[in-house]
Amino acid sequence: MNDFSQNIVNQRFKKVFEELEKLNIIRGKSDIAKKLGTYNHVVNSILKGQRNITVDQLNKLFDTYAINANFMFGNSETLFLPHFRPNNLPARPLSDKIQRPTRNNISLIPDKAIAGYAVSHQDNDYLNNLQRFSIPGLEGDLKAFEISGDSMMPTITNGDLVICEEVERGQPLRDNHVYVVVSDVVVAKRIQQVKSQNQIHQLRLISDNDTVYKPYTIDLQNVQQILRVKCRLTRHAIS
Protein backbone atom coordinates (compact mmCIF):
# COMPACT_ATOMS: atom_id res chain seq x y z
CA MET A 1 0.00 0.00 0.00
CA ASN A 2 1.32 3.44 -0.91
CA ASP A 3 2.24 5.82 1.91
CA PHE A 4 0.65 9.20 1.19
CA SER A 5 1.45 10.58 4.64
CA GLN A 6 4.48 12.47 3.32
CA ASN A 7 2.35 14.49 0.91
CA ILE A 8 2.35 18.06 2.25
CA VAL A 9 -1.29 18.58 1.23
CA ASN A 10 -2.39 15.51 3.18
CA GLN A 11 -0.34 16.63 6.17
CA ARG A 12 -1.94 20.06 6.07
CA PHE A 13 -5.40 18.51 5.67
CA LYS A 14 -4.85 16.69 8.95
CA LYS A 15 -4.01 20.01 10.63
CA VAL A 16 -7.12 21.61 9.12
CA PHE A 17 -9.27 18.73 10.33
CA GLU A 18 -7.89 19.00 13.88
CA GLU A 19 -8.37 22.79 13.95
CA LEU A 20 -11.97 22.58 12.66
CA GLU A 21 -12.74 20.01 15.36
CA LYS A 22 -11.08 22.16 18.02
CA LEU A 23 -13.24 25.14 17.01
CA ASN A 24 -16.38 22.94 17.02
CA ILE A 25 -16.99 23.77 13.36
CA ILE A 26 -17.16 20.07 12.51
CA ARG A 27 -18.17 17.07 14.59
CA GLY A 28 -15.98 14.28 13.32
CA LYS A 29 -15.16 12.71 9.98
CA SER A 30 -18.70 12.17 8.77
CA ASP A 31 -19.45 15.90 9.15
CA ILE A 32 -16.56 17.10 6.98
CA ALA A 33 -17.05 14.19 4.56
CA LYS A 34 -20.57 15.40 3.80
CA LYS A 35 -19.28 18.92 3.05
CA LEU A 36 -16.55 17.54 0.77
CA GLY A 37 -18.99 15.33 -1.12
CA THR A 38 -17.37 12.10 -0.04
CA TYR A 39 -17.59 9.40 2.62
CA ASN A 40 -16.45 8.90 6.20
CA HIS A 41 -13.99 6.14 5.26
CA VAL A 42 -12.43 8.31 2.55
CA VAL A 43 -11.67 11.10 5.03
CA ASN A 44 -10.33 8.48 7.44
CA SER A 45 -7.99 7.12 4.73
CA ILE A 46 -6.65 10.61 3.94
CA LEU A 47 -5.97 11.28 7.63
CA LYS A 48 -4.16 7.95 7.92
CA GLY A 49 -2.00 8.64 4.88
CA GLN A 50 -3.61 5.89 2.81
CA ARG A 51 -4.83 8.11 -0.05
CA ASN A 52 -4.54 11.65 -1.37
CA ILE A 53 -7.17 14.31 -1.05
CA THR A 54 -8.57 15.11 -4.51
CA VAL A 55 -8.61 18.48 -6.27
CA ASP A 56 -12.42 18.56 -6.08
CA GLN A 57 -12.32 17.87 -2.35
CA LEU A 58 -9.72 20.62 -1.90
CA ASN A 59 -11.86 23.15 -3.73
CA LYS A 60 -14.85 22.30 -1.52
CA LEU A 61 -12.63 22.58 1.55
CA PHE A 62 -11.53 26.07 0.48
CA ASP A 63 -15.07 27.23 -0.34
CA THR A 64 -16.81 25.74 2.70
CA TYR A 65 -14.37 26.56 5.49
CA ALA A 66 -12.38 29.53 4.07
CA ILE A 67 -9.15 27.55 4.15
CA ASN A 68 -6.08 29.32 2.76
CA ALA A 69 -4.90 27.40 -0.33
CA ASN A 70 -1.32 28.59 0.27
CA PHE A 71 -1.43 26.91 3.68
CA MET A 72 -2.51 23.64 2.13
CA PHE A 73 0.45 23.68 -0.30
CA GLY A 74 2.98 24.65 2.37
CA ASN A 75 3.49 28.22 1.19
CA SER A 76 1.94 29.92 4.23
CA GLU A 77 1.36 29.23 7.91
CA THR A 78 -1.96 31.12 7.90
CA LEU A 79 -4.61 28.43 7.94
CA PHE A 80 -7.76 30.53 7.36
CA LEU A 81 -8.53 33.30 4.93
CA PRO A 82 -9.17 36.81 6.36
CA HIS A 83 -12.97 36.57 6.08
CA PHE A 84 -13.13 33.40 8.19
CA ARG A 85 -15.53 33.60 11.18
CA PRO A 86 -14.44 31.28 14.02
CA ASN A 87 -17.97 30.66 15.34
CA ASN A 88 -19.64 30.26 11.97
CA LEU A 89 -19.10 29.20 8.39
CA PRO A 90 -17.20 31.60 6.15
CA ALA A 91 -18.93 34.89 5.54
CA ARG A 92 -20.70 35.03 2.19
CA PRO A 93 -22.03 38.04 0.30
CA LEU A 94 -25.26 39.29 1.83
CA SER A 95 -27.21 38.38 -1.31
CA ASP A 96 -26.29 34.69 -0.81
CA LYS A 97 -27.58 34.54 2.75
CA ILE A 98 -31.05 33.70 3.95
CA GLN A 99 -32.71 36.96 4.88
CA ARG A 100 -33.70 36.58 8.51
CA PRO A 101 -36.76 38.29 9.92
CA THR A 102 -35.80 41.42 11.80
CA ARG A 103 -38.45 40.92 14.49
CA ASN A 104 -40.49 38.23 16.19
CA ASN A 105 -43.36 38.23 13.74
CA ILE A 106 -45.16 34.98 14.65
CA SER A 107 -47.59 34.93 17.59
CA LEU A 108 -47.88 31.55 19.32
CA ILE A 109 -51.35 30.43 20.38
CA PRO A 110 -50.83 27.25 22.44
CA ASP A 111 -53.64 24.74 22.86
CA LYS A 112 -54.61 26.10 26.27
CA ALA A 113 -55.04 29.61 24.80
CA ILE A 114 -57.00 28.71 21.68
CA ALA A 115 -60.41 29.01 23.34
CA GLY A 116 -59.46 32.53 24.40
CA TYR A 117 -58.36 33.39 20.88
CA ALA A 118 -61.90 32.80 19.58
CA VAL A 119 -63.21 35.68 21.68
CA SER A 120 -60.09 37.85 21.91
CA HIS A 121 -58.42 37.67 18.48
CA GLN A 122 -59.03 41.40 17.98
CA ASP A 123 -57.97 42.37 21.51
CA ASN A 124 -54.53 44.00 21.39
CA ASP A 125 -53.88 43.31 25.07
CA TYR A 126 -54.51 39.60 24.52
CA LEU A 127 -52.37 39.51 21.38
CA ASN A 128 -49.50 41.46 22.95
CA ASN A 129 -49.25 38.91 25.77
CA LEU A 130 -48.73 36.00 23.38
CA GLN A 131 -45.27 34.53 23.01
CA ARG A 132 -43.64 35.53 19.71
CA PHE A 133 -40.90 34.02 17.59
CA SER A 134 -39.46 34.09 14.06
CA ILE A 135 -38.60 31.54 11.38
CA PRO A 136 -36.20 32.45 8.54
CA GLY A 137 -38.11 32.86 5.29
CA LEU A 138 -41.52 33.44 6.90
CA GLU A 139 -42.38 37.12 6.78
CA GLY A 140 -45.41 39.17 7.76
CA ASP A 141 -47.78 39.12 10.71
CA LEU A 142 -48.37 35.40 11.29
CA LYS A 143 -50.09 33.18 13.88
CA ALA A 144 -48.97 29.74 15.08
CA PHE A 145 -51.71 27.50 16.45
CA GLU A 146 -50.95 24.37 18.47
CA ILE A 147 -53.20 21.59 17.20
CA SER A 148 -54.84 19.24 19.67
CA GLY A 149 -56.49 15.98 18.65
CA ASP A 150 -56.44 13.67 15.66
CA SER A 151 -59.11 15.06 13.35
CA MET A 152 -56.58 16.14 10.70
CA MET A 153 -54.33 13.10 10.86
CA PRO A 154 -52.19 12.11 9.08
CA THR A 155 -51.70 15.60 7.60
CA ILE A 156 -51.53 17.33 11.00
CA THR A 157 -50.82 15.39 14.17
CA ASN A 158 -51.53 16.12 17.82
CA GLY A 159 -49.12 18.79 19.12
CA ASP A 160 -48.13 20.16 15.70
CA LEU A 161 -47.99 23.89 15.07
CA VAL A 162 -49.60 25.35 11.97
CA ILE A 163 -48.22 28.71 10.85
CA CYS A 164 -50.97 30.87 9.34
CA GLU A 165 -51.64 34.23 7.75
CA GLU A 166 -55.00 35.96 7.96
CA VAL A 167 -57.19 36.02 4.86
CA GLU A 168 -58.77 39.45 4.46
CA ARG A 169 -62.49 39.48 3.79
CA GLY A 170 -63.14 39.37 0.08
CA GLN A 171 -59.90 37.56 -0.73
CA PRO A 172 -60.45 34.29 -2.62
CA LEU A 173 -60.35 30.98 -0.79
CA ARG A 174 -59.15 27.71 -2.30
CA ASP A 175 -61.38 24.69 -1.96
CA ASN A 176 -59.82 21.58 -0.37
CA HIS A 177 -56.93 23.55 1.15
CA VAL A 178 -56.31 23.67 4.90
CA TYR A 179 -57.34 26.79 6.83
CA VAL A 180 -57.82 27.75 10.44
CA VAL A 181 -61.42 28.89 10.84
CA VAL A 182 -62.41 31.02 13.84
CA SER A 183 -66.04 31.14 14.94
CA ASP A 184 -67.04 30.46 18.54
CA VAL A 185 -64.30 27.83 18.36
CA VAL A 186 -61.00 27.56 16.48
CA VAL A 187 -60.50 24.62 14.12
CA ALA A 188 -58.05 23.58 11.41
CA LYS A 189 -59.91 21.98 8.52
CA ARG A 190 -60.02 21.64 4.79
CA ILE A 191 -62.72 23.88 3.41
CA GLN A 192 -65.18 23.79 0.56
CA GLN A 193 -67.17 26.88 -0.30
CA VAL A 194 -70.93 26.43 -0.46
CA LYS A 195 -72.38 28.94 -2.92
CA SER A 196 -75.84 30.13 -3.77
CA GLN A 197 -76.39 32.48 -6.70
CA ASN A 198 -72.59 32.84 -7.01
CA GLN A 199 -72.31 34.02 -3.40
CA ILE A 200 -70.58 32.07 -0.65
CA HIS A 201 -72.96 31.59 2.24
CA GLN A 202 -71.47 28.57 4.01
CA LEU A 203 -68.20 26.71 4.46
CA ARG A 204 -68.04 22.95 4.57
CA LEU A 205 -65.32 21.94 7.06
CA ILE A 206 -63.65 18.62 6.31
CA SER A 207 -61.34 16.51 8.47
CA ASP A 208 -58.62 14.40 6.87
CA ASN A 209 -59.41 11.69 9.42
CA ASP A 210 -62.78 11.33 7.71
CA THR A 211 -63.52 7.81 8.93
CA VAL A 212 -63.98 9.23 12.42
CA TYR A 213 -64.87 12.90 11.85
CA LYS A 214 -67.62 13.75 9.39
CA PRO A 215 -67.82 17.03 7.42
CA TYR A 216 -70.08 19.80 8.70
CA THR A 217 -71.08 23.25 7.52
CA ILE A 218 -70.90 26.65 9.14
CA ASP A 219 -72.68 29.80 8.04
CA LEU A 220 -70.27 32.38 6.71
CA GLN A 221 -71.88 35.04 8.89
CA ASN A 222 -70.70 33.08 11.95
CA VAL A 223 -67.08 33.03 10.79
CA GLN A 224 -65.02 35.68 12.56
CA GLN A 225 -61.67 35.02 10.92
CA ILE A 226 -60.07 32.71 8.37
CA LEU A 227 -56.35 32.04 8.31
CA ARG A 228 -54.49 30.25 5.54
CA VAL A 229 -52.05 27.56 6.71
CA LYS A 230 -48.62 28.31 5.25
CA CYS A 231 -46.64 25.49 6.84
CA ARG A 232 -46.59 22.95 9.65
CA LEU A 233 -44.04 22.41 12.42
CA THR A 234 -44.02 18.99 14.02
CA ARG A 235 -42.40 17.55 17.12
CA HIS A 236 -42.30 14.08 15.63
CA ALA A 237 -38.92 12.89 14.42
CA ILE A 238 -38.47 11.23 11.04
CA SER A 239 -38.28 7.48 11.57
Q: Which pLDDT score, from 0 to 100, does residue 87 have? A: 56
Burial environment of residue 211 by CB neighbours within 10 A (0 to 12, 13 to 18, 19 or more): exposed
Cα distance between residue 224 and residue 185, in whole Å? 10
Structural domains of the chain, with CATH = 8-96 (1.10.260), 106-233 (2.10.109.10)
pLDDT (tens digit per residue) in 128-171: 888 888 887 788 899 999 999 999 999 999 999 999 999 988 88
CB 163 within 8 A of CB 231: yes
Q: Which pLDDT score, from 0 to 100, does residue 155 have? A: 92
pTM to 2 decimal places: 0.57
Q: Which pLDDT score, from 0 to 100, does residue 1 have? A: 47
Cα distance between residue 164 and residue 170, in whole Å? 18
Rounded to 5°, angle at Cα 26 from 22 and 28: 90
Confidence of residue 238 (pLDDT cuts 50, 70, 90): low
pLDDT at 18 over 60: yes
Helix axes 8-22, 29-36, angle to 10 degrees: 120
